[in-house]
Amino acid sequence: MAIIDQCEVTVYDEENNLNLMMQDEEGNELECEALFSFLYKENDRRYIVYQVLNSETEDDICASVMVETGEEMELLPVETDEEYDMIEEVMDAVL
């Protein structure tokens, strides 16, 4: 079974958009636009894939673990190489 078949994907577009404000390692604010999020059923974790706007490189696409805490959303780092591989496979299927 393909990994994408184990995911519930939400794609963000002009009608259904999500913008995020992030901070880089130096404390600079970065405006980001969510491309899609997905729930990976195998580990019951939600991930979000987003692009840094006004970046010096067009390929500045990032991914984080998305944890909802009440009405807010907290983004945590992806922890393992296996998660990165899974996210990359989902990105290839969605984008």
At 73 the pLDDT is: 82
C-alpha atoms less than 13 angstroms from C-alpha of 2 in its C-beta half-sphere? 10
- pLDDT beneath 50: ranges in the chain: none
Task: Give the pLDDT of residue 58.
Answer: 62
Taking the CB of residue 51, how many other CB atoms lie within 10 A of it?
15
| pLDDT confidence of residue 7 | 84
Look up the pTM and report it: 0.84
93 CB-near residues (< 8 Å, 6+ apart): 2, 3, 4
pLDDT of residue 18: 85
pLDDT at 60: 81
| Total domain count, the chain | 1
In this predicted structure, what is the pLDDT of residue 43? 93
Residue 32: strand pairing partners = 20, 52
Per the structure, the complete domain to which residue 86 belongs is given by 3-94
